[in-house]
Structure 1
Amino acid sequence: MNTKDSHSISWDRVKTEFQRIWGYKDFRPPQGEIIRSLLSRQDALVVMPTGGGKSICFQLPALLQTGLTLVVSPLIALMENQVQELREKHLPAALLHSQLPSQQRRQTLRLLEQNRLRLLYLSPETLLSSSVWSLIAHPRILVNGLILDEAHCLVQWGDTFRPAYRRLGMIRSTLLQLKPTQKKFAIAAFTATANPAAQQTIQTVLNLNNPQSFVVNPYRPNLNLNVKTVWTPRGRRSQLLKFIQTRKKQTGLVYVRTRKDSEKLADSLKQQGYQTSAYHAGLSGEERREIEQAWLKGSLKFVVCTSAFGMGINKANVRWVLHFQAPFLLSEYLQEVGRAGRDGKPAMALTLVSEPTGWLYPEDKQRREYLQENWRQQYQQANQLIKKLPKQGEIKEISDQFRNGAITLSLLHSSGQLTWQDPFHYVIHSSSVSFPDHNTKAIKQMTQYLKTNQCRWQFLLEAFGFNQAANSMRCGHCDNCLK
C-alpha cells in the first residue's frame, strides 16, 4: 500500500481505507484524533481502556504511509495475534522474535531489506540485537514511526526484568543521525493503564517531544468489581468452584500469578471434570495459539492463565474474570479485569484474597514480601556491581563480563545517574543507586484497594489520576456500593 508523503493523505482516503480494511464506518473517539496526530508525525501518549481499539490507531497510519513503522511489543503471543490478523487481511506486516524458525526469520529480514514491510513487530531486545539493528539502521531503510505497545511494561519491567526498555529513548536520535535524508518520525506509546507518574516515566524514558496526550477514563458501567476474603487454601478452591459452577455456559478467565500455579490449578479442575487449559509464557507458540483459538471459538469456556494471556486477544463476550490470586499492581489488575464485558453487557470481576492479618492464611502476604525482597536484593547486587563498572562503556561488553550488568545500568538510568549516548553506549555519573520506594508504594496501593470500603471504581479513578470524575463517583454496582 504505497502513498506519497503523509501530509498529502486526505481524510476521505483515511476513512475509506479504514472501512475497506476493518469494515467499520467511523472511528470511535479518540481514534480519529490519534490517527491525525500520527499522520502529522506528532508524538503521542495514549492511555485507553482495554478493548478501546488502540492497535487500529497505529496500524492504519503505518499502512497509509511509505516506510516502516516499528512496533515494540512485550510478548510473543501478542505480536503473533496482531500480525496474524493483519496477514489474514493481506497487509504488509511481519514479526521478529527469538523463537521464530530460521527460514521465517530470513524471509522477514529479506522483506525488511527490500523496504516491503509497513509494520514490523518485535521486542525491545530483538530491536536492539546487533543483526536486526544493523539492518534497521541502514540509510536505505526508511523508518516512519516507532510505536511502544503495552507501554506500561516499560514502567513495570524496565528497571529490572527487561532492561532493554530503558534504552528505547535513544533510538530516534540515533536513527536520524544514521539516515541523513530523514527529517523526523513520530514516537507513540499506547497502554490501557498508566497513572500520572507512569505517564511521566514513559514520556521521559522515550524522550517524547511535546506529545499529544489522549487519556481516556477507564470506568466501565457494566463491569462489577468484587473482592472476597478466604480463610484457608481449601476455602479459596471452594469459592472458585462455586463461582464457575453457576457460570458454566459463560466465557471467562481465571488469573493466577505463576506458570506453576496455572498448571497446578488447571490439572485440579480437569480432574473435577472441567474443560480448561493452563496458559503461560512458557508454552510454545503453537500451544498458545491452540488454547487461544479454542477459547475464542468457545470450545474452552475458561482458561487458567498468567498475565501473559489477554494482551491483544480480542473477545467481546467475556462475562467474568476471576483472580484466584490478586495481582501485585493496580495497573495489572485494571488490565486483567478489563478483558471482561467489552460488548457493554454486564460482566463480573471477582478477586479472592487470603485473610488480611496473614496469621491464619499467610499465602498472599508471603508472596508480596517475597517480591519486595527480590527487588531489594537486585538493588543490593547493583550497588556492589557499580563499583566494578567502567564509567563509560558499551552494554554488550558489560553484559558479557558481569552477570546482571544490564540490570545495573538500567537501575542507574532509572535513578538519573546514567545517560545513554545511543542505544548501546553509556556514561555513569554516580557510583551508587538507592532503593526507590515507588515499588513498595505500588504494592501498598494494591493492598489498600483490596481492603478499602469505598466504591471500588472511585478508588481506581483516584489512583489513575481521574480525580474530578472520582469526586462524584459511586458506581452502585461494586461489592462495597452494594453492601
Structure 2
Amino acid sequence: MNLPRPSSKTDLRSRFKQIWGYDDFRSPQGEIVETLLSQKDALIIMPTGGGKSICFQLPALMQTGLTLVVSPLVALMENQVQELRQRRLPAALLHSELSAPQRKQVLWAIEAQQLRLLYLSPETLLSASVWQRLWDPRLQINGIILDEAHCLAQWGDTFRPAYYRLGAVRSALLQHKPAGTRIAIAAFTATADPQTQQTIERVLQLQDPQVFRLNPYRSNLSLTVQTVQTPRGRRDQLLKLIQSQLKQSGLVYVRTRRDSEELSEWLRQRGYKTAAYHAGLGASDRRRIEQAWLTDALQFVVCTCAFGMGVNKANVRWIVHFHAPFLLSEYVQEIGRAGRDGKPAKALMLVSGWLDSDDQQRWKFFETQARSQQQTAQKLIKKLPQQGNVNEVAKQFKESTIALSLLQSLGRLTWSDPFHYTIHATDSAQTANSSNSTQPMRDYLKTRECRWGFLLRAFGFENEAMSFKCGRCDRCRV
C-alpha cells in the first residue's frame, strides 16, 4: 500500500481510519505523526499501551521510501510485523532466527524497494549484508525509529554496545544519498527519567528534537508492595492473589530462568494453566507460549523480563512481581502490561522480610555485575588502538565493544561512521553516568508517600507529583 502524503489534518485522520479503523487520534498521537511526516527529530515518552507504534507506523506507510525500526526484542518485532501484515501492509523484519531463504527474501525486498517498514535489531542494522543495501544511493530512507529507547541507557548483562553506534548511522547513510536528502530520527519509550532522556538525545545525536512527554500515571492500576517473611510466605501470597482473580489473565515476573521454570512447575502441580517463559527458550516455544496466553489457553505466564515488550493483550487484570525488579524503568514497563483496556487492574510486588535474604543476594549480584562490567572495560581501554574498525578490534580484544561504549559515555570517543572510531585523550578524571542504580527502586519500596506520586517524581514530572494521591495504592489506603 503506497499512500500519498496527507494534505490536511482531516486527510490524516481519514488515512488513520482507513488503515486502523479509529475515528481520531489520542493526544498527542496526531502531533507526533505530523512531526515525523515533516521529517523532524523527536523524543517521545508515552505510557505503555498509549499507542506508540501507530505514531511511527502511519507516517512510514504514508511516504514513498523506507523507515527503519530498531527494536531490542525479536518478540516485539514479530508481533508488530504480524499485525501489519494482517492488514496487508508492506512491512518485514530481519533477525538472527530467520532461515537463510527468509533472510534472502527480505534483503531482496529491500533492494526492490517494496517495503515501507523494516524492523531489525541494532546488531542486524550494522551487519555487512544489511548495511551494504541501506547505503545504496537508489534506496530512499525517510527515517530511523528507535523503539524501547530506554534500553540504550541500561548497562549490565543486557547491555547492547551496538546501540552506542546508532548516532553515526544517519550521517553515514547521508554520504551515499542524493544531495538534499533528509533522514529523521525518533526515539520512543515508556520510561525515561531526565538522565536517560539526555543520554538518548546525546547518543543518537538528535537535532533540535521535538519532545513529547506523557507521565506514566494509570488511574485504573492500583500498586501494592507487600513484605513476606519466608520463601513459603512469598508463594502463599502469590496463590492468594491468583485465587482472588477468578481465573482472570495475569503475569508473574521472576528474576531468572530457573525461577520461572521451578515456580511454573509448582503452580501447574496445583492445577493452574501456566508456563515458564525466558530468553533461553527457542523461538517456536516462545511464540507458542505467547499465543496460548493471548488466547487465554494459559491463564498466566511465569516469566523473566524477556516477556512483555510489544505483547499486546488488553484484558490483563493483574501483575505480580514475585521478585522485585532492580530498576524503576523495568518495573513501570512491566506493570504497564496490566489494564490496557482501561478497566481496574492490580500490580503486586512481593519483597523479602528479615527472615528471607534472597532479595538482598539478588540485588548485590546485579550491582556487582554492573560494576564489574565497567571495571573490566576501564582496564581494557588502555590496550585499545586510538583509531580502528570496531569489528576488527572486537576480534582481537574480548569485551572491546563495551569498553568503546564506556569511552563514548565519557565523551572520549567519536565515530566517523558506525564502524570506525577515534579515542580522544583527556587529563580529567570522569565517571560514566549510570541508569542502572538500584537506589531509586530501593527508595520506592520504602517510601511512605503515594506510589504513583513517587513514580511521577522519579521520571521527572515534579509538578504533577506535588501532593499527588492516587487513592488506590497501598500507601494511600493506609
Tell me the TM-score range normalised by the shorter chain: over 0.9
- Answer whether contact 1:159 1:166 (CA < 8 A) is retained: no
* Residues 25-104 of structure 1: pairs in structure 2 closer than 5 A: 25-104=23-102
Task: Give 3-state SS (helix, strand or coil) of 2:351's partner.
Answer: strand
Q: In structure 2, what is the equivalent of residue 346 of structure 1?
A: 344
Q: In structure 2, what is the equivalent of residue 390 of structure 1?
A: 385
- Answer whether contact 1:474 1:481 (CA < 8 A) is retained: yes
Moved more, 272-281 or 402-411: 272-281
Instruction: Give the alignment's Cα RMSD to 1 decimal.
Output: 1.7
Identical residues among aligned pairs (%): 63
- Answer whether contact 1:278 1:303 (CA < 8 A) is retained: yes
Q: In structure 2, what is the equivalent of residue 15 of structure 1?
A: 13
CA distance in 2, matches of 1:396, 1:476: 54
- In structure 2, relative to structure 1, the CA distance for the partners of 1:69 and 1:9 (3 Å cut) is farther
Q: Give the one of 221, 224, 233 matched to 2:222.
A: 224
- In structure 2, relative to structure 1, the CA distance for the partners of 1:430 and 1:325 (3 Å cut) is farther
CA distance in 2, matches of 1:300, 1:202: 37
Q: In structure 2, what is the equivalent of residue 143 of structure 1?
A: 141
Which amino acid is 1:150 matched to?
Answer: E
- Whether 1:285 and 2:283 are equivalent positions in the alignment is yes
Q: In structure 1, what is the equivalent of residue 357 of structure 2?
A: 362
- Answer whether contact 1:387 1:431 (CA < 8 A) is retained: no
Which amino acid is 2:90 matched to?
Answer: P
- In structure 2, relative to structure 1, the CA distance for the partners of 1:430 and 1:248 (3 Å cut) is farther
Q: In structure 1, what is the equivalent of residue 461 of structure 2?
A: 466
CA distance in 2, matches of 1:381, 1:324: 32
1:383 Cα deviation (Å)? 2.0
5+ residue gaps, structure 1, are none
1:236-256 Cα shifts (integer Å, max 9, x gaps): 111111111111321111011
CA distance in 2, matches of 1:463, 1:127: 33
- Answer whether contact 1:71 1:149 (CA < 8 A) is retained: yes
- Answer whether contact 1:146 1:188 (CA < 8 A) is retained: yes
1:275-324 Cα shifts (integer Å, max 9, x gaps): 10111222222212211111111121111111121211111111100000
Q: In structure 1, what is the equivalent of residue 335 of structure 2?
A: 337
- Answer whether contact 1:159 1:414 (CA < 8 A) is retained: no
CA distance in 1, matches of 2:158, 2:26: 37
Which amino acid is 1:438 matched to?
Answer: S
- Answer whether contact 1:159 1:410 (CA < 8 A) is retained: no
Q: In structure 2, what is the equivalent of residue 479 of structure 1?
A: 474
- Answer whether contact 1:158 1:165 (CA < 8 A) is retained: no
Q: In structure 2, what is the equivalent of residue 113 of structure 1?
A: 111
Q: In structure 2, what is the equivalent of residue 438 of structure 1?
A: 434
CA distance in 1, matches of 2:122, 2:180: 22
Task: Give 3-state SS (helix, strand or coil) of 1:438's partner.
Answer: coil
Moved more, 217-226 or 276-285: 276-285
1:436 Cα deviation (Å)? 3.9
1:272 Cα deviation (Å)? 1.7
Q: In structure 2, what is the equivalent of residue 134 of structure 1?
A: 132
How many residue pairs get aligned? The number is 477
CA distance in 2, matches of 1:146, 1:333: 27
1:89-121 Cα shifts (integer Å, max 9, x gaps): 111000000010111111000000001100000
1:157 Cα deviation (Å)? 4.3
CA distance in 2, matches of 1:117, 1:404: 35
1:381 Cα deviation (Å)? 1.4
Which amino acid is 1:457 matched to?
Answer: W
1:434 Cα deviation (Å)? 5.5
- Whether 1:322 and 2:317 are equivalent positions in the alignment is no
* Residues 230-245 of structure 1: pairs in structure 2 closer than 5 A: 230-245=228-243
1:378-402 Cα shifts (integer Å, max 9, x gaps): 2221122112111011100111111
Q: In structure 1, what is the equivalent of residue 414 of structure 2?
A: 419
- Answer whether contact 1:222 1:346 (CA < 8 A) is retained: yes
Task: Give 3-state SS (helix, strand or coil) of 1:407's partner.
Answer: helix
CA distance in 1, matches of 2:170, 2:379: 33
- Answer whether contact 1:149 1:189 (CA < 8 A) is retained: yes
CA distance in 2, matches of 1:40, 1:460: 33
CA distance in 1, matches of 2:361, 2:7: 56
TM-score, structure 2 normalization: 0.97
- Answer whether contact 1:171 1:423 (CA < 8 A) is retained: yes
* Residues 167-206 of structure 1: pairs in structure 2 closer than 5 A: 167-206=165-204
Moved more, 430-439 or 254-263: 430-439
Q: In structure 1, what is the equivalent of residue 394 of structure 2?
A: 399
1:12 Cα deviation (Å)? 3.3
- Answer whether contact 1:159 1:407 (CA < 8 A) is retained: no
- Answer whether contact 2:409 2:433 (CA < 8 A) is retained: no
Which amino acid is 2:450 matched to?
Answer: C
1:49-74 Cα shifts (integer Å, max 9, x gaps): 00000000000000000000000000
Moved more, 431-440 or 65-74: 431-440
CA distance in 2, matches of 1:87, 1:259: 32
TM-score, structure 1 normalization: 0.96
CA distance in 1, matches of 2:40, 2:157: 27
Which amino acid is 2:407 matched to?
Answer: L
